[in-house]
A = this chain, B = another copy of it.
Amino acid sequence: MTPIDLAAKLSQFDATWTPHVVADLNGQQVKLAKLEGAFVWHDHADEDELFWVVSGRLRIEFRDAPDAVLGPGQIVVVPRGVEHRPVAEPTAEVVLFEPATTKHTGDVDSERTVRDLPRL
């Protein structure tokens, strides 16, 4: 029950597209990530995913819907099964809230897939 300072945690790593777990609750996890440029197209078959932009600008592309463009203090929920591609313009710091089972590249096995997420 110790407070977690998100800016302090973000200062502890530089790696992009590598979610770091900072809290667990109800089978869900809070993760921090630094994003730069475009990620891979992917979806999560069984998991909704929340993005909360802390700094920078994030555009999320969808196959059949307008892009979601987010700045600091804005959130979006990507429903399960919806293919999406996050694109940081040019960088963004985000908080992710999603089930502990969620893989950040979904069912896509990419060179960017990180299998054991670090914890802060």
Contact = CB atoms under 8 A, between A and B. Distances in A.
Contacts of A99: 26
Given A1-B77, A2-B68, 15 more contacts: A1-B65, A3-B68, A3-B74, A3-B76, A5-B73, A5-B74, A7-B73, A22-B75, A23-B75, A26-B47, A26-B48, A26-B98, A30-B50, A30-B75, A30-B97
A42 B49 CA distance: 29
A48 to B, nearest CB: 4
Contacts of A97: 25, 28, 30, 97
Contact of A6 (B47, B60, B73): B73
A74 B4 contact: yes
Interface in A1-52: 1-7, 22-26, 28, 30, 47-50
Interface of A: 1-7, 22-26, 28, 30, 47-50, 54, 60, 62, 65, 68-70, 73-79, 82, 97-99
Contacts of A6: 73-75
Residue from A24, A48, A49, A65 with most neighbouring chain B CB atoms (10 Å): A48
